Structure 1
Amino acid sequence: MPAPAEAIPVHRAQVLGRRARLRPARPLGREALVDLADRLAAVAGVDRVLARPATGSLIVETHHDAGEVLDAMEAGSLIVTRRAPTAPPVGQMVKLG
């Protein structure tokens, strides 16, 4: 189980409004997943965190925009997310194919 101060790498974070699904980069056992859910639930703005051991994911429900809450989790060294690269401008995409 990771130490409390160790940030968990997140392979993918899907954000939809006030809800986010986090998938840790490495498989976590049931106890480690529940422990992480408890730590994330203590972050300001979080309504609840559901651990899904069968899928190895966490559902985070928030008071406001989930993206902002995930940023706070990263700032608190709880998680490290891999951000998707920003898309190039449309004109550049059309020009370069």
Structure 2
Amino acid sequence: MAISRSDLVAALAEKSGTTKTVADSVLSSFTDVLLEAVAAGDKVSIPGILSVERVERAARTGRNPSTGETIEIPAGFGVKVSAGSKLKAAAK
């Protein structure tokens, strides 16, 4: 079962004892801060829950799956998300 954004906002509002409008604003602000930090190359860490960081990927040779042709994949960036100990324990 997936939790939608509106479900998450409702749960945050209930847990924090605030309105859905305030909870939605906080969630939007958190998203903005996370995106800005990752774009700047900073690591965002919530101890015990998760860490998110931008990682560099080197240029490499790949293969087009439909034609089998060899292609060059340029260097770029990716995002690494690591689960913390509390999140891992909750998944058991």
TM bucket, shorter chain: under 0.3
TM-score, normalising length: structure 2: 0.24
TM-score, normalised via structure 1 length: 0.23
More helix per residue: 1 or 2? 2
The structure with the largest alpha-carbon Rg is 2
> Relative contact order, CA 8 A, sep 6+: which one is greater?
1
